[in-house]
Amino acid sequence: MGTPSAPSRNADRLAAAAARSERTARDEGRLLLAFDDLTPYARYTGVDVLHTLQRPRTGEPAELSFIITTQVMELLFALVRQHWMRARAGLDADDVPAAIAALRRGAAAQDVLVHSWDLLATMTPVEYNRFRDALGEASGFQSATYRHLEFLLGNRSAALVRPHRAAADVHAALLRELREPSLYDAALRLLARRGLPVPEERIDRDWSAPCEPDPRVEDAWVQVYADDRPGNDLLALAEALLDTAERVTRWRERHLAAVRRAMGAKPGTGGSSGLAWLAENARRAVFPELWSLRTRL
């Protein structure tokens, strides 16, 4: 069967709205309290399953906060990923307003992500140590959804796909993303289509390879910023991209601070150097030419 047409969907919505109004009038606005099965809310949101997914391995109360915070972040990663992929699709279609709208929605989710670290801000090193060994080799860098976000930003590494080989669908999705232009690549390709001097090797290359900052890319963005009259959609896009980049850096810095506070400079559970690895990641500029051009303006 095909997808219902827009008029059909609209008719269905109007019929549903009318049925709700009729029911509310009939019941004089009283809440629905009798259901034969799970409440419609539970069925729609899956909360009956959601609340079974917190499985602490120790008796330390702080472990539950750690698990819930991690799970909240995972859900927000998925939401941000959806917005960034929509933004990239908008750029590919030369629909800059749609791309900017998606970036703004993503920025709102990023703000919640940054503040999610507040849930762990009061955890002491002693509390963390009581359940840290229960993590085994589990580490946040193993998050496939977060890795997808980093790939969308252009921070790419084929080696970091390997941990997900046992999950075929996840592994395939990361490989596909690795071979696609990043969100920033899509923006540069749009600039090139608009006649700005983006170097050829930045608009047609091996997308899986990391890319160093390029002064010629900075030159192209400088031209965008030179026209700050209302209506310059490329300037609005640049600022929306920078809003995204700034929030990524804030999240990384909060992650760094949380680790420093909970465990200091101990090695990470996933084999990294812990604090040093996070500090290096936090220093990595997101969309670097959008930052460096500011020195020239």
Spatial separation of the C-alpha atoms in residues 15 and 118, rounded to whole Å = 44
Please write the tens of the pLDDT for every residue from 11-59: 889 998 898 899 888 988 898 888 989 999 999 999 999 999 999 999 9
Q: Exposed, middle or buried, 34 (CB in 10 Å: 0-12/13-18/19+)? A: exposed
pTM, full prediction? 0.93
Residue 91 has pLDDT above 80, yes or no: yes
Let me know: does 83 contact 148? Beta carbons within 8 Å: no
What average pLDDT does range 163-192 have in this prediction?
97
Answer yes or no: is pLDDT of 76 > 90. yes
The count of C-alpha atoms lying within 13 angstroms of the C-alpha of 208, restricted to the half-sphere facing its C-beta, is: 11
Q: What is the mean pLDDT of the chain?
A: 94
Residue positions forming the annotated binding site for heme = 255
Query: Domain locations in the chain?
Result: 58-295
The residue count for the chain: 297
Annotated binding site: 128, 132, 255, 269
Select the CATH number that applies to the domain covering 58-295 from these four: 3.40.50.170, 1.20.58.480, 3.40.50.10190, 1.10.1040.10.
1.20.58.480
Locus of tokens 């099965």: 37
pLDDT of 89 > 60? The answer is yes
User: Which residues, in sequence order, are CB contacts of 107 under 8 Å at separation 6+?
Assistant: 240, 243, 244, 247
The arithmetic mean of pLDDT across residues 166-195, rounded, is 97
E strand or H helix at 112: helix 96-116
Annotated binding site for substrate: 128, 132, 269
> Which two tokens mark 30?
């009283």
How far apart, in Å, are the Cα atoms of 101 and each of 24, 109, 181? 35, 13, 20
